[in-house]
Amino acid sequence: MTPLFSARPGFYRSRLGLPGAVLAPMAGYSDAPLRQLAAEQGALWTVSEMISARGLVMGGDSENLSLGRPFEGETNRVVQLFGAESELLARAVQKVEAWFTPAAIDLNMGCPVPKIRGKGGACLLQTPEVAFELVQAMKAATTLDVSAKIRLGWDHDRSVEVAQGLAAAGVNLITVHGRTSAQRYTGEADWEAIARVAASVDVPVVGSGDIRSAAQARSRQAMGVAAVMIGRGAVGNPWLFRALATGNDHFPSAQERARTALRHAELQTRFYDDDTVRLTLRPLRKVLPQYLPDRPELRDDLVQVVTLADVERALAPLLAPPGGAVAPGHSAAVPGGEYAG
């Protein structure tokens, strides 16, 4: 068995030498603004929303594609691809590397959404030998680390078999979500199964599923995984990454959370730069209330925002310092470094 950390580690092994957790790829959530917030809080790395290899190669997408485009100065970002054809994935890897300068490339083998069946994602768990060929093609196309994110199986657990095949194909890291594709997001993630995978391969294994607190993350990591990946539990709560990176579990006040919610909206506006400003903040309507679940009286306004000024108005009761007020058009957001612990 090779040692877990080599003398000259690649991206994943070098980052796993630090304390912390990983931001999961989440369609509609893990875009550049959320990745930026997670990185500021100390995430080991972040993973983009999944990108279709076929769409990237055949569909005329460019370096302006928002799914893969980095935030200015963004680092430690992994770009995730999905597909089922070796040649297209190899070409997509080359485009991603040239356009988006990622730290590593990830293959999606876990998305259970029906519309991508036959095109990759969790379907590859039914034909893992195809996935092994995909990894080999991706590895041949880049010098970057290549990883794979899997579920336990399609409708039953065959995760050890799949993980061992991926390791043999040369993958640098495996992330395991502790459910089958058939389960979607129901029931509870099976961390015992994830632990069995971690014990069965020589490459680092990251565990994923149902992490919503720092204490829970630490207990799961103690089961033998190299790190934990956090998805839905980090939406509206990027401080989870700070807690796991620093050991400081202090949860921010409502005012601090409001400032970060506003900062999220500012980052959203800066990244998407929509001249009409009519669509930019719509995706955040489902996110902003999650920063302040203990302030339900703000929800109705937060789920209707259109402009940054709308967000400022909705959060004004919390943004104003004692005895003062936020001047119109002036952000009360705190620079990210002040949250970095």
Rounded to whole angstroms, how far apart are CA atoms 11 and 17? Answer: 10
Closest CA to 48 of 92, 122, 85, 100: 100
Rounded to whole angstroms, how far apart are CA atoms 315 and 256? Answer: 11
Token pair 């993973």 in the structure block, residue: 47
Rounded to whole angstroms, how far apart are CA atoms 326 and 313? Answer: 10
Residue 260 main-chain phi, psi, to 5 deg: -70, -35
Q: Which of these is catalytic: 38, 78, 103, 111? A: 111
Token pair 């309507």 in the structure block, residue: 285
Count the neighbouring beta carbons within 10 Å of the beta carbon of residue 4: 13
DSSP-assigned letters across all residues of 168-205: HHT-SEEEEESS-TTTTT-S---HHHHHHHHHH-SS-E
- Given a contact cutoff of 8 angstroms between Cβ atoms, the answer to whether 189 and 169 are in contact is no
SS3 (DSSP) at 44: coil
- Residue 187 — left, alpha, or beta (φ > 0 → left; ψ -120 to 50 → alpha)? left
Rounded to whole angstroms, how far apart are CA atoms 125 and 180? Answer: 9
**Active-site annotation holds for 111:** yes
Rounded to whole angstroms, how far apart are CA atoms 335 and 6? Answer: 36
List, by residue number, the catalytic residues. 111
